[in-house]
Structure 1
Amino acid sequence: MSADANDDPRVAVTGTPGTGKTTATTLLDDPVIHLNELIREAGLWTERDTDRDSLVADLDAVREAVGEWTGVAESHLAHHLDADRVVVLRCHPDVLEDRLRERGASEAKAVENAESEALDVILSEAVERHGPDAVYEVDTSDRTPDEVAAEIEAVIAGDRDPSAGDVDFLEYL
């Protein structure tokens, strides 16, 4: 059952790795489910992708583990949950590559994620699953974590209009 638009909405905060999801959501007043942490700690994965140095999540098990939830769920996989609103954090691919390299990502992983960002991969998945009227893009390229958190808070409060398709990084390709 879906939460009423003004009563404890389920807000998924998603985006390509490096866009600022974890950093921004730690600044929110709302309860936050950090899905990547849950996946690791509860063993909700099916295999380890050694080429990408990542775990392959069991999305059915993740959905079952979170159950009926409210508040905020954050991860590059959060848009796979049932949610009332989906915030897709975006970041210019050049900035994203730099952020990922600073975090210790390999050159191949940084480039792969930057290309995924330019191609709107997560945005497209979010719109396909939730529809454009439930998706809100936030460009984090030149914003502080506090500014990004304020944008997410505006979505939670219902004070921001949906904006799927507003951000375009195709020139990167």
Structure 2
Amino acid sequence: MRVAVTGTPGTGKTTATDRLADAWDGAEELRVVHLNDVIREEGFHDGADPDRGSLYADLDALAGWLDERADADVELVDSHLAHHLDADRVVVVRCRPDELKRRLTDRGETPAKARENAEAEALDVVLAEAVERHGFDAVYEVDATDRSPDDVADAVAAVVRGEREPSAGTVDFAGYL
């Protein structure tokens, strides 16, 4: 089973998937794939955006790479791009835009990039893309704003284990705008 763990940069995806991998006690083998690392390490990109410094990911190459290595019972695919790939379930990690903006500036992002990502979060950009590709029945939202990384990891684990119902559309940050 492939579970895409996606969301706007800074929401807590990577921390949550790492915590889940460390605490996993399921009978199934669990593997975490951090797509942003794979893009850089394997060269699955077509250069960098000169304004943002981010790489233009080659999603077809990523999809092929993932399919060739699909050997774990559960594969968590972590990236703000993960929802663009095939997955059985999609977890969209969310964060209140003002908090997201703070997190991004604290980790050194420019104010413009932090503002752009906060606005994308308020507009549900990643959620809308995930629902469009995978449908409402496969998308789960997790609001990480006031939750510890371990709590977010537990919420992702509940999705993996089938203990949560799909929940696309339950988080609303439109008031930020």
Q: State the Cα distance separating 1:114 from its structure 2 match.
A: 0.2
Residue by residue over 1:63-115, the C-alpha shift from the partner in whole angstroms, topping out at 9 and shown as x without a partner, is 11111534110000000111010000000000000000011000000000000
Name the CA distance, whole Å, in 1 between partners of 2:84 and 2:35. Answer: 11
Name the CA distance, whole Å, in 2 between partners of 1:63 and 1:10. Answer: 12
SS at match of 2:131: helix
Q: State the Cα distance separating 1:58 from its structure 2 match.
A: 0.6
Name 2:173's counterpart in structure 1.
169
Structural RMSD (CA): 0.8
Equivalent position amino acid for 1:50 in 2: P
Q: State the Cα distance separating 1:50 from its structure 2 match.
A: 2.0
Structure 1 residue 11 corresponds to structure 2 residue 3: yes
Gaps of 5+ in 1: 1-8
Name the CA distance, whole Å, in 2 between partners of 1:80 and 1:33. Answer: 15
Name the CA distance, whole Å, in 2 between partners of 1:115 and 1:52. Answer: 16
Name 2:122's counterpart in structure 1.
118
Equivalent position amino acid for 1:44 in 2: F
Name the CA distance, whole Å, in 1 between partners of 2:163 and 2:7. Answer: 21
Name 1:31's counterpart in structure 2.
31
Name 1:47's counterpart in structure 2.
47
Name the CA distance, whole Å, in 1 between partners of 2:61 and 2:123. Answer: 28
Name the CA distance, whole Å, in 2 between partners of 1:112 and 1:166. Answer: 22
Equivalent position amino acid for 2:101 in 1: E
Q: State the Cα distance separating 1:16 from its structure 2 match.
A: 0.1
Name 2:12's counterpart in structure 1.
20
TM-score, structure 1 as length reference: 0.93
TM-score, structure 2 as length reference: 0.91
Name the CA distance, whole Å, in 2 between partners of 1:94 and 1:141. Answer: 10
Equivalent position amino acid for 2:112 in 1: A
Name the CA distance, whole Å, in 1 between partners of 2:84 and 2:144. Answer: 21
Aligned residue among 127, 137, 144 for 2:141: 137
Name the CA distance, whole Å, in 2 between partners of 1:62 and 1:92. Answer: 30
Residue by residue over 1:38-81, the C-alpha shift from the partner in whole angstroms, topping out at 9 and shown as x without a partner, is 00000000120121121110111111111153411000000011
Name the CA distance, whole Å, in 2 between partners of 1:16 and 1:152. Answer: 16
